[in-house]
């Protein structure tokens, strides 16, 4: 009989597994000491990160993008001399934009002038918006009333209008009003009907809102005017 005592069996040693990104295991640490793994990157102290964030924030000019209306809202929080500098800058920018403006009124469009006024007129990034309407349509008159007001608000945009059938032969009455949006000699969008302009809520503000959503104009209107109660005049 073999009386030799059985040698105890050793359980294999398990090394911990890293569960979170950035954690290391005992296995990783051993190999790093042996030079098999690259050293762990040094952690940046939180105070260094905080300092970098503060310095970055200090470099941001919060007033640079403010409109005149927004500057008025912060006049109690900003020194008067500083605010005056930004106001003068905004006023100079507005005057420059006004000098660059070419229009400011609604121009009449016909079939014979379409190519020159619209297609060629939209070259070099010029926005041209054309309202095609039916004179006997109530829906058309709801957008015709404020159309001129929006043209005056944004004189850098070329606003035009014309009777649909005189611009496009046999244009369907049911498709009026239709607005064509041109830029760089291409029709980039056409909006058929009154719904997108607010329907019975169509106004100068709602037209401005829709054009701003298309990137044609910039607006300071904060809430969608189409969600406001309808007005009898539509303006």
3-class SS letters over 61-117:
CCCCCCCHHHHHHCCCCCCHHHHHHHHHHHHHHHHHHHHHCCCCCEEECCCCCHHHH
Whether 212 contacts 153, CB under 8 Å: no
Query: Tens digit of pLDDT per residue, the chain (235 long)?
Result: 555 555 555 555 554 444 444 555 666 667 677 777 677 666 767 777 766 766 665 554 666 767 777 777 777 777 777 778 878 887 777 777 666 678 999 999 999 999 999 999 999 999 999 999 999 999 999 999 999 999 999 999 999 999 999 999 999 999 999 999 999 999 999 999 999 999 999 999 999 999 999 999 989 898 999 998 765 544 4
Whole-number pLDDT of residue 87: 80
Whole-number pLDDT of residue 79: 76
Q: Is the pTM of this model over 0.85?
A: no
Whether 220 contacts 67, CB under 8 Å: yes
């Amino acid at each position: 009989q073999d009386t030799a005592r059985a040698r105890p069996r050793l359980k294999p040693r398990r090394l911990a597994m890293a569960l979170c990104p950035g954690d290391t295991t005992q296995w990783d640490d051993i190999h790093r000491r042996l030079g098999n793994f690259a050293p762990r990157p040094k952690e940046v102290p939180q105070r260094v990160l905080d300092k970098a964030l503060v310095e970055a924030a200090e470099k941001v000019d919060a007033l640079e993008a403010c409109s005149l209306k927004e500057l008025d809202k912060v006049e109690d929080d900003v020194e008067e001399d500083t605010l005056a500098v930004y106001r003068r800058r905004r006023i100079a920018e507005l005057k420059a934009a006004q000098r660059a403006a070419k229009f400011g009124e609604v121009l009449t469009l016909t079939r014979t002038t379409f190519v020159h006024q619209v297609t060629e007129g939209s070259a070099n990034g010029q926005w041209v918006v054309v309202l095609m309407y039916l004179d006997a349509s109530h829906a058309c008159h709801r957008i015709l009333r404020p159309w001129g007001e929006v043209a005056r608000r944004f004189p850098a945009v070329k606003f035009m209008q014309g009777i649909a059938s005189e611009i496009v032969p046999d244009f369907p009455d049911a498709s009026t009003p239709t607005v064509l949006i041109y830029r760089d000699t291409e029709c980039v969008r056409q909006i058929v009907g009154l719904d997108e302009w607010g329907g019975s809520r169509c106004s100068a503000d709602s037209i401005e809102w829709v054009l701003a959503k298309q990137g044609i104009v910039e607006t300071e209107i904060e809430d969608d005017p189409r969600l406001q109660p309808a007005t009898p005049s539509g303006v």
